[in-house]
Amino acid sequence: MSLSDLRNSLPDYAKDLKLNLDSVLSDAGAQGLDGKQIRTIALASAIASRYQPLVAAIEAFAAEQLSPEELDGTRAAAAVMAMNNIYYRATHLIQNQEYGQLRAGLRMNIMANPGIDKMSFELASLAVSAINGCGACMDSHERVLRKHEISALGVQSALKIGAVVHAVAVTLEQSAA
């Protein structure tokens, strides 16, 4: 099913999501980002949102501009954040500060050469971290992005893409049940 078909299958009560999805996945609606970054963030967000029909539709949308290596890099961002967000959210939330001082010891080699450019990887990681609710990871990725001159509008656009894609996934999953 295409992204357009999925968007059109959203129930009437989710009309705002239909409008927002079109907006955040466009150059005009995702200020501070380019087309590849929009697609990278959208795909990583769909993967994190776990609704397979949406993942497939956004993957087809992403493949319009991303190479197979960039698609794999996007999948890698979603995969490593699925692990890191749980670990770092837990060590951040546990009252005992000792856990935050311990070496994580989790392999994250993909971050050295993810198959996509560094800022796209960071933007996707930020959006996935927002979906997964990891404040420590959001802070870390936002700092890296701003240090590398991604504007506040670019960061906001990444967060909006993650929010809308996740809301669409939740709504579609619930309306399919």
Nearest to 87 by CA among 110, 107, 73, 72: 107
Of 44, 57, 66, 137, which one is the catalytic site residue? 137
Is 137 a catalytic site residue? yes
Please tell me which residue in 10, 44, 81, 134 is annotated as part of the active site: 134
The amino acid that residue 81 corresponds to is: M
Assess whether 134 carries a catalytic annotation: yes
Cα gap 60→65, rounded to integer Å: 10
The DSSP secondary structure of 70-103, one letter per residue, reads HHHHHHHHHHHHHHHHHHHHHHHHSS-THHHHS-
Query: Tokens in use for 100?
Result: 């935050």
Catalytic residues: 134, 137
